Structure 1
């Protein structure tokens, strides 16, 4: 069993729909704070850089050379932390994808495109075709974007790929939080891996959001939740089967 300590910061940040520059500043603040607290990775919610503004997907989508992605990559290098942030990503001959950009401390950039779209998303966005995992501190981390986790095949394939941890970047409303939390707990128990959730705190795309970033153990037990919609980092420590968490406020 891997006995290395993996520290993951689950970022709850205010997001302004369509204001990429302002949102990027929030990412800088959260990533720097996470690095100062010793995090190996900081996970942001779905579409954290743009907001959940589907009608603006074509306008706000990034290509691989976008200055924000370059700056985010530089931030990962200078802070020596892996950053997983959400954005619309330009696709050749297709609608943009709802994606995560993974910025590594080495300067390497990876991308994951959401595979299972929520109702209405396919009007503006195209679906991804491939799963994504990364290795960190000897752990294999699988990445899901929101509705991905509602399709059993996604987490099952992560388990078949021998993932140790399941990261979920999402937008969950207050009305949907209880049901989604129960589902995430079942996923954790079924596949015997920790499940970590990063959720929004701001209204975005007309949706109210629930915050309350959380982690469930491989037995399906809730081990930590932020229990707030304030700007905070949920600092999660994973050492083998041991999981703990604590709250760290983000200063305005």
Structure 2
């Protein structure tokens, strides 16, 4: 198994237009595969945009046929993609904020946002998290936005053996300084490679900051998008070290 290469996808989501957003995700997956990426993480609710008022109508089951193009592309490219979507689990009426793990082997795993941002409880129920992704000796713990605002979340991930912490988020201009400092701090404190995939433009009435980033396990910034717009932030292991760079999409 080759050394892990992973990436944060900074995307622009069209509100409620899942088909158009899937098409754009496919482009990102293709570009990522060309860069040798094996695990690609998209922002919170990337397939719908951050649109709580639309979530009940757009929510799907994790194995919904709607996702077939993404699943087939993941298998074809041998790429694992983590995409954001409102979901309903079997026999439940509640909608949760999901991060769906579309595996290179055709599998689908589910992570559900555990900690809701104030106000989200109107549209969403709190989830139960999900298992870390295994890649060789690496363990990639997932987070969705407000999850990381609870220090216990990355701490528990590290205690469970994760060495990578990957968060799909929606972070506004006003919240970026605080939130990026938290993530950088977790990298250094818990010796985690920390990846943050943010929206690259407005969503749900929020002026998103973009600036998706990856920090090394010493807290050092490896690479970041300089602002808004669409791009990939890639981290590739080189021996004992990680190297990062940004690719426009």
TM-score (norm 2): 0.95
Q: Compute the displacement of 1:230 (Å).
A: 2.1
- Check whether the contact 1:24–1:68 (CA below 8 A) recurs between aligned residues: no
In structure 1, the residue matched to 2:204 is 205
In structure 1, the residue matched to 2:45 is 47
In 2, the alpha carbon distance for the partners of 1:187 and 1:120 equals 26
- Check whether the contact 1:23–1:49 (CA below 8 A) recurs between aligned residues: yes
In 2, the alpha carbon distance for the partners of 1:203 and 1:109 equals 29
In 1, the alpha carbon distance for the partners of 2:101 and 2:63 equals 14
In structure 1, the residue matched to 2:217 is 218
Q: Give runs of aligned pairs for residues 125-164 of structure 1, distance below 5 A.
A: 125-164=124-163
Q: Please tell me whether residue 196 in structure 1 is matched to residue 195 in structure 2.
A: yes
Q: Compute the displacement of 1:241 (Å).
A: 4.2
- Check whether the contact 1:94–1:126 (CA below 8 A) recurs between aligned residues: no
Q: Please tell me whether residue 228 in structure 1 is matched to residue 227 in structure 2.
A: yes
In 2, the alpha carbon distance for the partners of 1:212 and 1:86 equals 18
Which of 75, 98, 122 is matched with 1:77 structurally? 75
In structure 1, the residue matched to 2:88 is 90
Which of 14, 18, 21 is matched with 1:20 structurally? 18
* Partner-residue secondary structure (3-state), 1:38: coil
Q: Compute the displacement of 1:114 (Å).
A: 0.2
1:167-205: CA deviation from partner (whole Å, max 9, x where unpaired):
011001111111111100111111111111100012111
Q: Cα distance 1:73–1:180, how it changes in 2: closer, same or farther (>3 A)? A: same
Q: Compute the displacement of 1:139 (Å).
A: 0.7
State the aligned residue count.
Answer: 248
1:104-160: CA deviation from partner (whole Å, max 9, x where unpaired):
111111010000000111111111124430111421000000000001111111011
TM-score (norm 1): 0.94
Instruction: Tell me which moved more, 145-154 or 85-94.
Output: 85-94
RMSD value, Cα: 1.5
In 2, the alpha carbon distance for the partners of 1:33 and 1:8 equals 12
In structure 2, the residue matched to 1:178 is 177
In 1, the alpha carbon distance for the partners of 2:63 and 2:108 equals 11
1:74-132: CA deviation from partner (whole Å, max 9, x where unpaired):
11001110000000001333421001010111111101000000011111111112443
- Check whether the contact 1:4–1:138 (CA below 8 A) recurs between aligned residues: no
Instruction: Tell me which moved more, 6-15 or 118-127.
Output: 6-15
* Partner-residue secondary structure (3-state), 1:207: coil
Structure 2 residues not aligned, in runs of 5+: none
The structure 1 segments of at least 4 consecutive aligned residues displaced by more than 6 Å after TM superposition are none
Structure 1 residues not aligned, in runs of 5+: none
- Check whether the contact 2:200–2:209 (CA below 8 A) recurs between aligned residues: yes
* Partner-residue secondary structure (3-state), 2:140: strand
Q: Compute the displacement of 1:4 (Å).
A: 5.6
